[in-house]
Amino acid sequence: MAMLLCVLAFNVQAQESTTKASTTESEQAENDKQNKMQRMMELMSKKIEMDVNTELFVSQGANSYVSEDPKAVIMAMMVPESYETSKTKMENDAGGNLTITEKGEKEMNGVTVLYMKGTTDSEGSTLHAEMYCMEIDEETCLMFVGMADAKADSKYTEAIKKAANSVIKTQ
């Protein structure tokens, strides 16, 4: 799970927020920081409807599901970031410890998404990972991450694809 958070770290930053012009620069910076954090927490706790096979995955909180053996993760969240900002970050960041095998932009279920696929090592296992980013509005994106142990039965990767397809759709 720690690796999952590292993979997502590059995409969890808020956009600018407005503050009163009468505040000092340090007060404004502190207000901006608090506003960004508050918006990020609100978005990340927002329930996202997703079709997850609960025979394979157990809920671990808002929009997070895991499987212990084999190791597998499904996670979705809203992030306070524009699609263009996400695109720039994805183009310039290799995803932490993720070895990228494929990335770019494509159409999925009639929606243009950013995507990244690759492998990572976590706790002695090699995980295949896929991440999708879909624009919700000018200041918000939906992020979907699915990871499964390279040795996992294909039903886990199929369940991840089904969950991704249930999330990536026209709003």
Residue-range definition of the domain harbouring residue 85: 2-11+22-167
Assess contact for 112 and 96: CB atoms under 8 A: no
Number of domains present in the structure of the chain = 1
Tokens of 65: 């599901």
Query: Along the 171 residues of the chain, how does pLDDT read in single tens digits?
Result: 433 333 343 344 333 334 444 568 888 888 877 777 787 777 777 889 999 999 999 999 889 999 988 899 999 999 899 999 999 988 887 567 889 999 999 999 999 999 999 999 887 889 999 999 999 999 999 999 999 999 999 999 999 999 999 999 876
Assess contact for 138 and 82: CB atoms under 8 A: yes
* Phi and psi angles of residue 132, each rounded to the nearest 5 degrees, phi first: -130, 145
Report yes or no on 111 lying in a domain: yes
Report yes or no on 7 lying in a domain: yes
The CB density around residue 70, as the number of other CB atoms within 10 Å, is 15
Report yes or no on 16 lying in a domain: no
Q: What is the CATH number of the domain that holds 149?
A: 3.40.1000
Report yes or no on 84 lying in a domain: yes
Nearest to 54 by CA among 45, 44, 64, 41: 64
- pTM of the predicted structure, to 2 decimals: 0.78
